[in-house]
Amino acid sequence: MRSNRLESLLRGIRRFAFLRLLIHLFLLCIGIILIQKLTVAVAEKYLFYYPIPTFIVAGAIFLIIGVRCIGMYLRETDRFIAERLDRQFVLKDRLSTYVDLRDSNHPFLNALAENTIASTSELHLFRSSDVQRGLGLPMAITALLALVLLTLPYLPVPESISQRKEEVKQIRVEAKKMELAVTKLLQENPQAPELKALLKEMEKTARELQTPQTDKVEALKKLNALQDKLEQQREKYKNSQRESLASKLDEITKSQSSSVSLSEAEKKEAEKLARELQNETGIQDQLHSQEISKAIQDQHMSKADLEKLKKALEDYKAQKQQSEKLAAEMQKSLEQRQKGMTSGDRKITMNSRVSDRDIEKSKGGVDDGPGMTNQDIGPQHFDTKKTNAGSYEEDRTKAEYEKLYKGQRENDGKDPLFLNSEWNQSGDPQYMHIRSFGLDSNPAVTGGANGMSAQNSSESEVRKEKIPASYQGIVKKYFESIQQ
């Protein structure tokens, strides 16, 4: 005979055990969500993105914890609960004995039940259920993941990773644009099977490029491979179109129709179609064009054949136009994505004019490194010295400019700033006279004090030289700098 009071106690504890299992599973679900968010956050912040190993390790840990929690619930039988309560509340095996004898007709069962009820009368159901048992590990893992996720935005990021993040962001934007463009082309349901398959491959590649671990070199390699494959598939589809047209033309030219021959107007139309066939398909179908012309002259072509020829050409032109349009849009999309991924890079410009330079980062410029020059040569050229990040200034100091002309002034006439240059008597490696290009009435002298005999007469000829207006200011500033 079972006691309603004791049975109600055991059922209540089993319900709390089920509630504990739900809490465990809830914490595990929260932990899985936090792991996913943390993986994405780490990938965005530090470009550390290894989803498969991460989820394998995290999944194994959560699986072990989940199996342990389910095992705890399955162990919560009446016998297990009774033994635990006997130990916890020192019932001296009263409840365990009741569970063993409750379905029997033992003569002492009623007395045991009454005694057990009296011993458990002050027993609190929540305290005896031991709900908190096993919650420590899931709660600790969940709290740790939440703490890491909250503090992650405030952690420092290395400079190298910051630069790569901008690159990845740029690649992701361009890849998303390519994915949208490809999706739009696929929605138009293109008829070319080769190009349609390539569109699906482009869509897959666009999704792969949006992952954080993609770098610019790898992205450009994939786009280049797609471009090469596009050219191959385009030629393959062209050949298949020509083969299809050739098979149709074979049927027309080989048919010996006994129908009424063509009129003169229809013959002219057929001849025009034959020429158009050769223009459209090129030398590949020149034989068919000649056969069609021969069939017209021999009056072997009927009106039905003419209609077939016209229909074959119209279908070929329509398919060709559609495939060429699709291939052109695919090519344009790939080229735009390549251009978008490489925009903003600085290009090295050697021996460039000042007026040709554009130091805007988005349009190019010079990138010689800190304190370096690109060593432009000539009176219309000046060095650019990098002062700050992305900032350049013209360097017209005499010392730097003298270095640029080292080894060139020995060749008379090749140095546009000097006339009859020679060493001074003291051996000082300075040149005696500098051409003023008519901007100064007195020739500038460097080095020794002895002038050159031919300088005065030569200088008068120099003053007659005409300097382009765009260079006059530059030359004037140069002489002002070296005369100081």
Domain ranges in the chain are: 4-154, 165-342, 399-483
383 versus 335: the higher-pLDDT residue is 335
Residue 238 has pLDDT above 50, yes or no: yes
Using the CB atoms, write b or e for 344-372: b if 16+ within 10 Å. Answer: eebeebeebeeeebebeeeebbbbbeeee
- pLDDT value of residue 309: 73
Helix (H, G, I), strand (E, B) or coil at 214: coil
Q: Where would I find the H helices in 255-342?
A: 264-281, 286-297, 303-342
Tokens of 11: 């059922």
Beta bridge partners of 384: 394
- How many C-beta neighbours within 10 Å does residue 224 have? 12
Mean pLDDT estimate for the chain: 71
Does the pTM of the predicted model rise above 0.75?
no
Q: Answer for the pair 28, 65: CB distance below 8 angstroms, yes or no.
A: yes
Residue type, 406: K
Asked if 102 and 112 count as a contact pair (C-beta separation under 8 A), the reply is no
pLDDT digits (tens, 9 = 90+) for 427-447: 554 444 444 444 444 444 444
Residue-wise pLDDT tens digits, 242-278: 777 777 766 766 665 545 455 667 667 767 766 666 6
* pLDDT, tens digit, 9 for 90 and up, residues 351-379: 443 333 433 333 444 444 444 444 444 44
Sign of the alpha-carbon dihedral angle for 128, 134, 140, 143: negative
How far apart are the C-alpha atoms of 462 and 437, rounded to whole Å?
A: 6
**What confidence tens digit (pLDDT) does each residue in 19-50 have?**
999 999 999 999 999 998 998 888 888 888 78
Length of the chain counted residue by residue: 484
